[in-house]
Structure 1
């Protein structure tokens, strides 16, 4: 199989947004109408590791990072969530504490569905229950791919793969030339890759010299996706 850059989305990105969009309209309307919608400022916490969930979250607009807190105040970003994705439902369904935290990467509009309202919806709509269970299985596979792949990669390979993943996550963030632009602090980017900021900056500079990307401030625009895919070397995942 010839791996293409867009295939990366199939193995390393959750699909709760597309699964939700396929629900019948009356179920989506019922689901969305039950939510309390709140505005989150960039950097604001949504839920915190070690606490119990009181419901689930739905990202209506913006980007959210899921992360683990490490020693010395450091973070390891596990995943970047975007518009249309659900947050916290796996922990809610398992009735366990949050194993990670979530905070907004950008200003975000997020809906919250309380436990009582969600349980009522699940009782009324079998399709919603099936969608959540299917998503759980898919997301487990994505996390297995992500962990297994990242632990075997060099930092250069991880940066290339992360760029391809983020390119898909930021596909709706277009500049005046209709180009996808990845808008992320270098610290957050480094926390996804699992490296020091200085190392990330050096590798991004190398990619610019190789004409794989270009930057405008902290914005990153990919020029050569195929070459980044070669560097990421993920053919064994497919």
Structure 2
């Protein structure tokens, strides 16, 4: 088996949606995958455009965001290696629900919608297994919405940083680094507030010796203190 096919299978095995597929079923998915390379700050697809494929991140980082009538961005998610987007793209032909843009140079695997539908028709067991996982995903999303309901801006900022630490944090030289280059405006777009509010929040976290920012992202000096920051 070529190295590229092995790499594709290894990546798809990391995708929770495909965790229950057999080796044969996974090989069927690999046959329809197309590798695409994007530079930093490249648009993968735009909100409202015709949906042609679902993507999996082989390497790099991607943000998805929606734009309101005034042109303001609301970041929906920050995605890393192994993540899939958009989740709404598998079983209906609606337009892309958000814009996807690379944060750093990124390699994606594209799964075209029509070949995927043909594969499901010939191998319905794949559809059954995927639907089971999607049902669990919906429960998790409902719990996340309930968690965020009623939270103030400071709490949303705290939860945002904790989520980044959980999903993207890496220990380097005894410190937890989150290597996602984001401006204060990006963070404001992610938690639904203003850049000035984010400035104040990050300044306070820096003064408390908990979190600081640099060109590469964030350094978390005290994760436990970040977890309990709003309790003090």
Give the TM bin, normalised by the shorter chain. 0.7 to 0.9
Partners of 1:166 and 1:182 within 8 A in 2: no
Distance 2:175 2:18 in 1: 27
Partners of 1:158 and 1:232 within 8 A in 2: no
Bigger CA radius of gyration = 2
1:158: Cα distance to partner?
0.9
Instruction: State the Cα deviation string for residues 14-44 of structure 1 (Å, max 9, x = none).
Output: xx72443553334334323421111112221
Partners of 2:63 and 2:101 within 8 A in 1: yes
Instruction: State the Cα deviation string for residues 117-147 of structure 1 (Å, max 9, x = none).
Output: 2123323444532343234323333433333
Instruction: State the Cα deviation string for residues 42-66 of structure 1 (Å, max 9, x = none).
Output: 2211122222212321111122112
Task: Could you tell me which runs of 5 or more consecutive residues in structure 1 were left unpaired when the two chains were aligned.
Answer: 1-15, 234-238
Q: Which residue of the partner structure matches residue 63 of structure 2?
A: 65
Q: Flag the structure with more relative contact order, 1 or 2, with Cα contacts below 8 A and sequence separation at least 6.
A: 1
Does 202-211 or 128-137 show the bigger shift?
Answer: 128-137
Q: Which residue of the partner structure matches residue 146 of structure 1?
A: 144
Instruction: State the Cα deviation string for residues 54-95 of structure 1 (Å, max 9, x = none).
Output: 232111112211211023321101122221122134234122
TM-score (norm 2): 0.80
Does 178-187 or 53-62 show the bigger shift?
Answer: 178-187
Task: Could you tell me which runs of 5 or more consecutive residues in structure 2 were left unpaired when the two chains were aligned.
Answer: 1-13
1:105-184 equivalent positions in 2, closer than 5 A:
105-171=103-169, 175=172, 177=174, 179-184=176-181
TM-score (norm 1): 0.78
Q: Which residue of the partner structure matches residue 10 of structure 2?
A: none
Partners of 1:46 and 1:102 within 8 A in 2: yes
Partners of 2:17 and 2:134 within 8 A in 1: no
Matched, 1:83 2:104: no
State the superposition RMSD in angstroms. Answer: 2.6
Cα gap change, 1:126/1:92 in structure 2, threshold over 3 Å: closer, same or farther? closer
Distance 1:22 1:191 in 2: 35
